[in-house]
Structure 1
Amino acid sequence: MEWITLILTVSIVIISFHLLFGKRSHPNAPPCVRGWIPWFGAAFEFGKAPLHFIQQARAKYGPVFTVVAAGKRLTFVTLNEDFRAFFTSKDVDFEQAVQEAVHNTASISKDCFYKTHPTCATVIKGRLTPGNTAMLSVHLCEEFNDHLENFGSEGSGQLNEIINDKYLPNYGLLLLWASLANAIPVSEKFSAITQYLSMSCLLCIQDKEKTKVTLDDLQHMPYVKWCIMEAIRLRAPGAITRKVVRPLKLQNYVIPPGDLLMLSPYWAHRNPKYFPDPEDFKPERWEKADLEKNVHLEGFVAFGGGKNQCPGRWYAVMELHMFVALILYKFEFTPLDPVPKPSPLHLVGTQQPDGTCTVRYKHR
């Protein structure tokens, strides 16, 4: 009888919790995925594969929906037409959304971050303008060359281990590699693209000692940049966030204060309205963008938007462009394993491959 009493008690508590706190905080709030366990909500289902969960919830509940997970309310916006409000509305706040995470990872007090971040972001944005990045390119190329000396003349191994063991920036080649995760078959797709890129690098880089890549060289290699931008598109962050500080109207809904407003660049970049055949790796689509003037394709939000758009985006793209050009100029790469599929687990940062991949490289 005791266990029956216990079950009834737990059931009454759960039902009471939902009756008292399970109602929408506003009559026009979006549909909500709550789960059955108080406080935890849908955390377990969401945590198993966040990217898949977002896609399934959108199909079931529509373009705006809320997920209760681990005591937090996450409200997702998935229509490009609503992104402007996410990036520019005065009813949402970036610093409040991330200050707890910054405190937990970097031990920076919440008050300090909230007060100083806007000023720091403005300073960085001023220092890393497209014009200023040109002055940093020479030193950057020297650093890349120093790191590439650790490669030796040839070798093989897991790609991520090669990158890490040689003390190279671990995102450049991984981004290019991850972009081909859905290629079929990899031996054809990867080889064709790397051969084309390598030929472009060999023809355009003027320094025959293979030690310098200038910005002028990079301007003559647009296809390399297209590949990088397409890789970023396909492996963009799973979600970026703002905190709702005042009631926010989106479509026919009102998002209550306290919610974390979530936008998924990963899924935004799979909108066929802006990116036809969105799952395909098509560098040629970037020919329509004016990348020389730092104008991206419509619908591209990998670097965020509004006043909190990534201040180092121009430097990051230039860095990737130079690194990929230099490493393909110096080395030939051959895949020995199929490229792993992307992992559905990563909400923050670049999507990681769901497995390892072995390559062989040889100095030209």
Structure 2
Amino acid sequence: MISGAGLLLLLLLLVSLAVLATRFGRWRRPGEPPLDKGVIPWLGHALDFGKDAATFLSNMRKKHGDIFTIQAAGKFVTILLDPHSYDVVLWEPRSKLDFNQYARLLMDRMFDVKLPDYDPNEEKTMLRMTLQNQNLSSLTKAMSFNLWNILLSDPSRTSLHWKEDGLFHLCYSTMLRAGYLTLYGNEGKDYEDVSGQAKDRANSLEIYNEFYKLDQLLMKAARSILSAGEKKTFDSIKRDLWKLLSVKRLDCRANRSVWLDSYKQHLVDLGVDEEMQTKAMLLQLWSTQSNAGPAVFWLLFFLLKHPSAMAAVEGEVQTIFGSRKQTIGQVHGISQEKLDNTPIFNSVLNETLRLTAAPFISREVLQDMLLTLPDCREYHLRKGDRLCLFPYVSPQMDPEIYEEPEKFKYNRFLNADCTEKTDFYKGGRKLKYYTMPWGAGINVCIGKFHAVNSIKLCVFLLLRYFDLELKHPDTKIPGFDKERYGFGMLQPETDIVVRYKLKDQ
């Protein structure tokens, strides 16, 4: 016979189970995508998803098809992997599918940034022209000067003797330092002043060293899984960077970009105080500079591993630069027309990004809605869920679209007449989105043209003025740091040692 105390405990247990079932016991309703909650209550598939999103979602796709809903840490996320259907999501009204909530969440978790009435789409519209058209020419010229300073004015690099370095460190540091100087300004106005160049190298190196330490913890911060010790270190690094990027310090810099001044005015218009403006400047340093360096790393590594691709790109570099004996002014006067006229390099870049760019495109579902796909399939989505596209799995690594998708083929995006190849198919239908490293729709990267110019300039300068080779020619392609799936360019698990020296002039 159960005692009164035993009955009370049993009743409390039943109530607790009922509450858990109500809170976490979700079931698939008619018309909804296949639901896979995993075996662990609430947590669901969070561990597998975070450990290796590409492999996990590829396996889920084989199990459920190209649309399904998973549970991950209490959140229900619908994954859509049919590139023919991406437009339905990309252009759905913001009253139904919205990016703002997720963007604000990450801004706060990673950078302590809270902006009143923040609208990322409005911000992009306001800043787009500061990175394009007439302003693009000024940015390209500034980037060229700053790359020259980092690569070719630094005595530690301009040696005729072989020097060893990690290729990732070389590329990431060079691109972030030059990119920071281009957008955030220089110590002095005269690019060719030797004293100013030295100050710029010192300042940008300090920024990079602190930023790189922060970058090692950012993915954990985004997922709220920092240990107590890591959180203390993370906060300390951010404070150091806030001092270096304070708006008072930035206001004193010369050659500030139109982008920087426009962004600061945007923050002022939002009513943001000086402290939060400084925090936003660190957010933007990551947003604008965290992907170009890894892109240059992968591109150069693929070229070093594929001599035929390297020879083809070096042929284009030769046509752009001509004689090796050029003045600094001639190098910085490379026209946009010349930068655009690089079909082989463009294919190499597209192939590199196809293999290594892996952003999520996420939307919060703001109301119960019906998602109608182009093939007339219809799925009900629930308010409060998240809808996510992962172009890395499809189209970029889809064997139906790309033959041997895991392999680097430098001419994959070239037609026989050396024009850009844009015809790719799935299910017998031509794809609008056959690779999506820059996003698409209203969330397409507004800095794409500046980023492409910057990547080209860095690679062209390295190939034109340096002998560069792998220390160990049989080095295998490094694995990916899998925790970076969903956040842009992937980074290697380990760096690759290269040897380089200034070419004989």
Look up the match of 1:310. 445
Shift in alpha-carbon separation, 1:331–1:179, aligned structure 2, 3 A: closer
Equivalent in 356, 371, 396 of residue 249 of structure 1? 371
Calculate percent identity across the aligned residue pairs. 23
Q: What residue in structure 2 maps to residue 22 of structure 1?
A: 25
- Report the CA distance between 1:263 and its aligned residue: 0.8
Q: How does 1:184-333 map to 2 (within 5 A)?
A: 189-206=305-322, 208-210=324-326, 211=328, 212=331, 214=334, 215-246=336-367, 247-250=369-372, 251-268=377-394, 269-288=396-415, 298-333=433-468
Q: CA deviation at 1:79?
A: 0.3
Residues 265-288 of structure 1, C-alpha deviations (whole Å, 9 max, x = no match): 211212344434322222323235
Q: Which residue of 2 aligns with 1:84?
A: 87
1:48 maps to 51
The counterpart of 2:168, out of the listed 141, 160, 172, is 160
Mark the CA change 1:118 to 1:95 in structure 2 (over 3 Å): closer, same or farther.
same
Partner of residue 295, structure 2: 175
Contact 2:339 2:456 in 1 (8 A): yes
CA distance in 1, matches of 2:291, 2:461: 14
Equivalent residue number for residue 3 of structure 1: none
SS at match of 1:278: coil
**Contact 1:31 / 1:66 at 8 angstroms: preserved in 2?**
yes
Structure 1 residues 15, 53: CA separation in 2 closer, same or farther (over 3 Å shift)? farther
- Superposition RMSD on alpha carbons, in Å? 3.2
Whichever residue aligns with residue 74 of structure 2, its letter is G
Residues of 1 paired with 2:340 and 2:371: CA distance? 44
Report which stretch shifted further, 189-198 or 48-57: 189-198
Q: Which amino acid aligns with 1:231?
A: T
1:345 partner SS: helix
- 8 Å Cα contact 1:236/1:350 also seen in 2: yes
- Following superposition, the deviation at residue 353 of structure 1 comes to 1.4
Higher deviation after alignment, 27-36 or 79-88: 27-36
TM-score (norm 2): 0.62
Matched, 1:121 2:247: no
Matched residue pairs, number?
349
* Distance in 2 (alpha carbons) for counterparts of 1:173 and 1:105: 20
Are residue 361 (structure 1) and residue 500 (structure 2) matched? yes
Summarize the Cα distance change of 1:162–1:136 in structure 2 as closer, same or farther, 3 Å threshold. closer
SS in 2 for 1:96: helix
2:108 aligned with 1:103? yes
Q: Report the CA distance shift for 1:179/1:277 in structure 2 as closer, same or farther (over 3 A).
A: farther
Deviations 1:280-337 (A, max 9, x none): 222323235976xxxx974222211212211111211121122211211111211124
What letter is aligned with 2:451? A
Q: Structure 1: give runs of 5+ residues left out of the alignment.
A: 1-5
1:33 and 1:14, CA in 2 relative to 1: closer, same or farther beyond 3 A?
farther
Q: Which residue of 1 aligns with 2:287?
A: none
Distance 1:86 1:72, change over 3 A: same
Distance in 1 between residues matched to 2:45 and 2:385, nearest whole Å: 15
Q: Does 1:66 align with 2:69?
A: yes
In the alignment, residue 120 of structure 1 is paired with which amino acid? E
Summarize deviations over 1:190-245 as a string: whole Å, max 9, x none. Answer: 33323332232123214643541513432443212221121111111242211111
Shift of 1:108: 2.5
Secondary structure of 1:351's partner?
Answer: coil
1:176–1:301: structure 2 CA closer, same or farther, 3 Å change rule? Answer: same
Q: Which range moves more in the overlay, 95-104 or 200-209?
A: 200-209
Q: Which amino acid aligns with 2:410?
A: P
**Structure 1 residue corresponding to 2:482, chosen from 326, 344, 352:** 344
The code of the aligned residue for 1:301 comes to M
Residue equivalent to 2:270: none
Bigger radius of gyration? 2
Any conservation in 2 of the 1:191–1:334 contact (CA below 8 Å)? Answer: no
Is the 2:68–2:79 contact (alpha carbons within 8 Å) kept by the matching residues of 1?
Answer: yes
Contact 1:238/1:267 (<8 A) preserved: no
Compared with structure 1, are the counterparts of its residues 126 and 20 closer, same or farther at alpha carbon in structure 2 (3 Å cutoff)? closer
Q: 1:340 to 1:309 in 2, by over 3 A?
A: same
Deviation at 1:58, TM superposition (A): 0.7
Partners of 2:314 and 2:464 in 1: CA distance: 6
Q: Measure the CA separation in 2 of the matches of 1:204 and 1:98.
A: 40
Answer yes or no: is the 8 Å Cα contact 1:176–1:227 preserved in 2.
Answer: no
- Write the distance in 1 (CA, Å) between the matches of 2:24 and 2:363: 23
Separation in 1 of the partners of 2:45 and 2:59?
Answer: 13
- Residue 253 of structure 1 and its aligned partner are, at CA, apart by 1.8
Q: Distance in 1 between matches of 2:413 and 2:172?
A: 30
Give distance in 2, aligned partners of 1:158 and 1:20: 50
Partner amino acid for 1:109? K
- Retained in 2: the 8 A contact 1:58–1:64? yes
3-state DSSP class of the match of 2:70? Answer: strand
Given that residues 343 and 419 in structure 2 are in contact (C-alpha distance below 8 angstroms), is that contact kept between their aligned partners in structure 1?
Answer: no
- 1:130/1:315 contact within 8 Å kept: no
Structure 2 gaps, min length 5: 1-8, 180-289, 421-430
Q: Partner amino acid for 1:199?
A: G
